[in-house]
């Protein structure tokens, strides 16, 4: 059977996509989007044009059935209901901020005793919503969880991401941690990183926690708190035992 396809329109492309998703009752990652016309405001209403998109459900040419229905366990009904409530809450917050957006549920996963609802945001000028080192994004996430605190169970939390920023930032921080560890091992001296929020310092600590050559600790107060990567006592250095150290580092 051919995949279902509809056309929708709105003042902007994002509004048109959102209208199509609501009509189909699906999330953004379940469809392909083709922009038929970009929205245009015109001058004093003259020459204005609505945005139009064609949204097609993504399907499998061999069928969309689950391969092993006996082993398939969908998310609990309560979790899916809370996920939709979280999506609507975030969407409302962004609308109040006059930030054009499309919010979708990226997934629901349980890690130990905590159920995490992942929300994905797509929109224009996303850098403004992410902020420096993701600070604005973290504030938005905190606000969503605060708004839902009386409705959601205590073991459930909402994680907000924008254009996969969190994944890219985590990979970047892991790279920083590994390169810093290599420098500390080579020069046999501690390196102090730039100030970071708590969640980013945690990534540095976790990345290097099993290292045989370096250790990490946080120092400083408030927004100036940062990670110090130091050589472990007794760990061999890759720098030759003769001659002066190669270069230096001002932490």
Beta strand extents in the chain (DSSP E only): 5-10, 31-37, 51-57, 101-111, 114-123, 156-162, 191-192, 214-219, 226-231
The position carrying tokens 């929109």 is 123
C-alpha–C-alpha distance, residues 9 and 46, integer Å:
18
d(CA 64, CA 27): 16
pLDDT at 54 over 70: yes
Tell me the per-residue pLDDT of 66-84, one tens digit each, with 9 for 90 and over.
Answer: 344 444 445 556 678 889 9
pLDDT in tens, 142-196: 999 999 988 888 889 899 998 888 888 889 999 999 999 999 999 999 999 998 8
Answer yes or no: are the C-beta atoms of 183 and 246 closer than 8 Å.
no
Using CA of residue 28, residue 32, residue 36, residue 38, what is the dihedral sign? positive
CA distance 9 to 51: 5
User: Collapsing DSSP states into helix, strand and coil, what is residue 201?
Assistant: helix
Query: What pLDDT was estimated at residue 97?
Result: 86
SS3 24: helix
Question: What is the rounded distance in angstroms from the CA atom of residue 108 to the CA atom of residue 15?
Answer: 25
């Amino acid at each position: 059977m051919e995949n279902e396809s509809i056309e929708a329109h709105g003042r902007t492309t994002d509004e048109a996509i959102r209208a199509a998703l609501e009509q189909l009752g699906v999330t953004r990652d379940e469809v392909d989007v083709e922009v038929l016309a970009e929205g245009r405001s015109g001058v004093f209403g003259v020459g204005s044009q609505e945005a139009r998109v064609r949204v097609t459900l993504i399907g499998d040419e061999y069928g969309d059935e689950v391969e092993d229905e006996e082993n398939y366990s969908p998310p609990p009904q309560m979790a899916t209901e809370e996920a939709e409530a979280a999506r609507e809450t975030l969407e409302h917050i962004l609308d109040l901020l006059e930030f054009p957006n499309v919010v979708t549920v990226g997934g629901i996963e349980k890690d130990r005793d905590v159920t995490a609802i992942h929300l994905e945001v797509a929109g224009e000028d996303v850098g403004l919503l992410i902020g420096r080192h993701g600070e604005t994004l973290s504030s938005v996430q905190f606000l969503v969880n605060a708004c839902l605190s009386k409705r959601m169970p205590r073991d459930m939390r909402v994680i907000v991401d924008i254009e996969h920023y969190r994944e890219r930032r985590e990979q970047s921080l892991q790279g920083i941690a590994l390169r810093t560890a290599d420098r500390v091992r080579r020069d046999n001296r501690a390196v102090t990183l730039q100030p970071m929020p708590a969640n980013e310092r945690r990534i540095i600590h976790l990345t290097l926690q099993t290292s045989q050559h370096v250790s990490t600790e946080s120092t400083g107060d408030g927004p100036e708190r940062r990670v110090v990567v130091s050589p472990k006592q007794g760990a061999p250095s890759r720098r030759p035992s003769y001659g002066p150290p190669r270069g230096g580092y001002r932490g």
